[in-house]
């Protein structure tokens, strides 16, 4: 039988819904605050159990709070995911057909790239090739800005990648629709967009997972085939 949902759980869910995604340390603070406000049992190491209780009550609604990792720094994040609709369909209520087409094409560029990024130049060059409705570059720039604000994309120095929220919510969609190129990290087993790949056996690892895995090794060798890991190991400074 599912554990009882309290007002602390409801408050936590409400705040997470308003944010869409929350970094692990923020989620832990929120967990504590909700328990203190509603005077229910709190233990600092029981956040995942607390979330499991919420998830058991969300199940009939085809929703779930999922935990994922930021590909940039390896930090945990929590996002509320709607399981009833495919992720692109779910976005359809918020964006026009041409905006969605631009998002799909941007996703193509990012996932098919070697480093998990797409340049703003390459994305903007697609704007006047859209089948639904051609966009001017200024308009496309504004749409990209909205995708960043809504946490579907992240931007750094004119390079775009998928936001942690997008990866958590769209993992199954990406694995199904990009079967030839999408891969899971060999260490944490979640979808890896920004990753290093073994030249010998082809397994991939997130950069934070690469850093963590090789930290204790004198010589970097692939965890799968044991061949020398030829990629540069990211620095240990975050």
Rounded average pLDDT over 149-167: 94
What does the pLDDT read at residue 1? 53
Question: DSSP string spanning 186-226?
Answer: TTT-SEESSEEE-TTT--EEEHHHHHHHHHT-SS-B-TTT-
**What is the CATH topology of the domain spanning 187-237?**
Herpes Virus-1 (3.30.40)
**What is the CATH topology of the domain spanning 7-61?**
3.90.1150
For tokens 């919420």, what's the residue? 54
Model confidence at 171: pLDDT above 70: yes
pTM, full prediction:
0.84
pLDDT tens sequence across 78-107: 999 888 766 666 677 789 999 999 999 999
pLDDT tens sequence across 184-194: 999 999 999 99
- Confidence class for position 236, pLDDT limits 50, 70, 90: very low
* Segment holding 38, helix H or strand E: none
**What is the CATH topology of the domain spanning 88-172?**
Arc Repressor Mutant, subunit A (1.10.10)
Task: Sketch the domain layout of the chain as residue ranges.
Answer: 7-61, 88-172, 187-237
Contacts (Cβ under 8 Å, ≥6 apart) of 73 = 208, 238
Model confidence at 209: pLDDT above 60: yes
């Amino acid at each position: 039988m599912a554990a009882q949902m309290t007002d602390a759980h409801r408050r936590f869910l409400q705040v997470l819904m308003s944010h869409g995604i929350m970094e692990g340390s923020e989620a832990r603070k929120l967990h504590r605050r909700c328990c203190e406000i509603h005077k229910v049992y709190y233990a600092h190491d029981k956040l995942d159990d607390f979330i499991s209780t919420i998830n058991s009550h969300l199940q009939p609604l085809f929703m779930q709070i999922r935990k994922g990792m930021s590909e940039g720094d390896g930090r945990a994040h929590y996002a509320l995911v709607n399981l009833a609709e495919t992720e692109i369909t779910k976005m359809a209520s918020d964006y026009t057909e041409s905006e969605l087409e631009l998002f799909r094409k941007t996703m193509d560029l990012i996932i098919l790239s070697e480093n998990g990024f797409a340049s703003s130049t390459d994305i903007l060059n697609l704007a006047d090739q859209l089948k639904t409705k051609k966009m001017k570059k200024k308009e496309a720039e504004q749409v990209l800005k909205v995708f960043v604000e809504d946490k579907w994309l992240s931007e750094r120095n004119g390079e775009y990648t998928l936001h942690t929220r997008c990866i958590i919510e769209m993992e199954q969609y990406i694995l199904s629709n990009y079967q030839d190129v999408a891969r899971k990290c060999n260490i944490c087993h979640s979808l890896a967009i920004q990753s290093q790949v073994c030249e010998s056996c082809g397994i991939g690892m997130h950069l934070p997972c690469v850093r963590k895995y090789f930290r204790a090794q004198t010589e970097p060798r692939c965890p799968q085939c044991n061949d020398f890991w030829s990629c540069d190991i990211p620095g240990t400074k975050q």
